Amino acid sequence: MTFIGEVIQWFLNGSHWQGDGGIPHRTLEHIELSAVSMLAAMAIALPVGIVIGHFGRGGTLAINISNVGRALPSFALLVIAFELFGLGAFNGAIPPFVALVALGIPPIVTNSYLGMREVDADIREAAKGMGMRARLVLWRVELPIALPFIMAGIRTSAVNIVATATLAALVAWGGLGRFIVDGLGQQEYPMLYAGAILVGLLSLIVEFSLAGVQRLVTPAGLRTSKSIQKEEALGTSFDSAAVLA
pLDDT at 144: 85
- Asked if 100 contacts 165 with a C-beta cutoff of 8 angstroms, the reply is yes
The alpha carbon torsion through 170, 172, 178, 183 (nearest 10 deg) reads: 70
pLDDT at 89: 62
pLDDT at 177: 93
Query: What span, in angstroms and rounded, lies between the C-alpha atoms of 162 and 42?
Result: 15
The per-residue pLDDT of the chain, averaged, comes to 82
Query: What span, in angstroms and rounded, lies between the C-alpha atoms of 102 and 9?
Result: 38
Query: What span, in angstroms and rounded, lies between the C-alpha atoms of 198 and 224?
Result: 37
pLDDT, greater one: 222 or 226: 222
- Asked if 147 contacts 115 with a C-beta cutoff of 8 angstroms, the reply is yes
Which of 75-79, 133-137, 199-203, 222-226 has the lowest average pLDDT? 222-226
Give the model's confidence band at 16: pLDDT under 50 very low, under 70 low, under 90 confident, else very high.
Answer: very high
pLDDT at 174: 86
- Asked if 217 contacts 147 with a C-beta cutoff of 8 angstroms, the reply is yes
For the chain, domain boundaries: 20-219
Amino acid at 138: L
pLDDT at 221: 63
DSSP state at residue 40:
H
pLDDT score of 116 more than 80: yes
pLDDT, greater one: 221 or 138: 138
Query: What span, in angstroms and rounded, lies between the C-alpha atoms of 163 and 174?
Result: 14
Residue count of the chain: 245
Q: What tens digit of pLDDT does each residue of 31-73 get? A: 999 999 999 999 999 999 998 888 877 777 777 777 776 677 7
Which of 52-61, 145-154, 203-212 has the lowest average pLDDT? 52-61
For the 20-219 domain, the top CATH level (class) is mainly alpha
